[in-house]
Structure 1
Amino acid sequence: MIEIRTFLRDETNELHRELDAIVGVFSSRAEYASFLKGTYRHRAPVEAALRDAAVETSPWRSRKLLPELTADLADLALPLPAADPFHLSNDIAALLGAAYVLEGSALGARVLVKGVEHLGFGPDFGARYLSAQAGSLDRWRAVLVALEGLDRPAWDAAAQSAKSVFRHAIQAFTSEEFSPA
């Protein structure tokens, strides 16, 4: 029998690979600045949608990383970018589908944070967001446990939500306004 984690990975694989190809690695400060702007443009509305989702039955609560991201943008003297809205259905499956993507990105952050060290950034300057996100996988594990509690009929709703989060991220990172300088 397939597990929901495998189901979500399979359902989002193409979008996940597309986003990974867009983000890539950072060989310059300009590329990293573009990453920070795209991340803010994506994360600000998704965090707001998660905050506004009144799903009290979830054991998972969203992690707010905007303060760290805002500080990183300020370190690089970058203004806060405009962000496109993100809408999230107010149910547990949608919440956990979105959480699957956001908390799963901690795995990628562990790789990316190592890539910015050579640019002079770290947990106290310029890479607070990546450092905080990469710090622990406990929240990722909590999301996986919560997802296992979903009934099979809710899996499609979780997958649709996860795909929406990936699409929103892809849009944020491919907007001309946020391409590398």
Structure 2
Amino acid sequence: MAPEFERPRHMAYSERRFELRDRTRDGHERLDAAIGAFDSVQSYGRYVGFLGTFRATMDDQLAGAAWPAQWRWRPTMVSAALAQDAHDLGLEVARSMKVVIDLSDPSALLGALYVLEGSTLGARVLRQRAADLGMTGGYGARHLSLMSNDIAQWQSFLVLLDDAGDFDMDRAAATANEVFALALRCFESGRVVYQ
């Protein structure tokens, strides 16, 4: 029998995850509706353009975050893959928006990471939709391939989320909702520019 402090590697249940899911349900559902079901290369290009803006913005925010010294885990960064996908589709590479999300507190950082890493679960479905349009891990859907390749990354995040000491659920949920709102703003913010 494993000592009480050791968590089985295959465990994916997380009470904090489900509480965050409940507290962010409205923002998540609104974002899903904004993304919609891309059913053409044009609608897929819109998705890539707007997601590129969101992920470039969040990658900038994460680059400036103070990571707790004991955290060895790091998120999946997809901005570079999205830039390549945009290039494949003849889109201008998305630029980061000028926003500031306070990630100075570990609970806030975990809230933001919950949104970003949680998107890897949806990436599996989106990857199939993109494949139906001829997009692959080598052309147009690199970011989806990167996001959906390793479910262990999500499970490792859940362990980090559950094991974080002095965790403030209110702070984490507020930041997660702020990140969902930013994503929604990116998806509702205008047009995608073709080169």
Please, what TM-score do these two structures have when normalized by structure 1?
Answer: 0.91
CA contact (8 A) 1:47 1:62 kept: no
The structural deviation recorded for 1:132 is 0.8
**Are 1:149 and 2:163 matched, yes or no?**
yes
Write the deviation string for residues 121-162 of structure 1: whole angstroms up to 9, x where unpaired: 101100001111111111211111111123575111111111
The structural deviation recorded for 1:118 is: 1.8
Structure 1 portions without partners, runs of 5+:
none
Larger radius of gyration: 2
The question of 1:120 aligning with 2:139 is answered no
Q: What are the Cα deviations for residues 14-66 of structure 1, in whole angstroms up to 9, with x where unaligned?
A: 11111111112211111000000110110001011111102233343122211
Aligned residue for 2:191? 177
CA distance in 2, matches of 1:12, 1:102: 13
What is the percentage of aligned positions where both structures have the same residue?
A: 36
Query: For 1:129, what is the secondary structure of its paired residue?
Result: helix
On the 8 A contact 2:85/2:140 being kept in 1, the answer is yes
Query: Quick one: which amino acid aligns to residue 79 of structure 1?
Result: E
Q: Secondary structure at the match of 1:176?
A: coil
**Contact 2:38–2:129 (CA under 8 A) maintained in structure 1:** yes
For these two proteins, the number of residue pairs brought into alignment is: 178
Would you tell me which structure has more helix in proportion to its own residues?
1
C-alpha RMSD of matched pairs (Å): 1.8
- Quote the Cα distance in structure 2 between the aligned partners of 1:110 and 1:66: 18
Q: Given the superposition, is the C-alpha separation of residues 166 and 83 from structure 1 closer, same or farther in structure 2, using an over 3 Å criterion?
A: same
Q: Deviations over 1:72-103 (max 9, x none)?
A: 00001111234323423212111111111111
Note if contact 2:24-2:177 (Cα within 8 Å) is conserved in structure 1. Answer: yes
- 8 Å CA contact 2:91, 2:192 repeated in 1: no
What TM-score, normalized to structure 2? Answer: 0.85
2 CA distance for matches of 1:85 and 1:26?
Answer: 27
Matches within 5 A, 1:16-165: 16-57=28-69, 58-86=71-99, 87-151=101-165, 154-165=168-179
1:177 aligned counterpart, secondary structure = coil
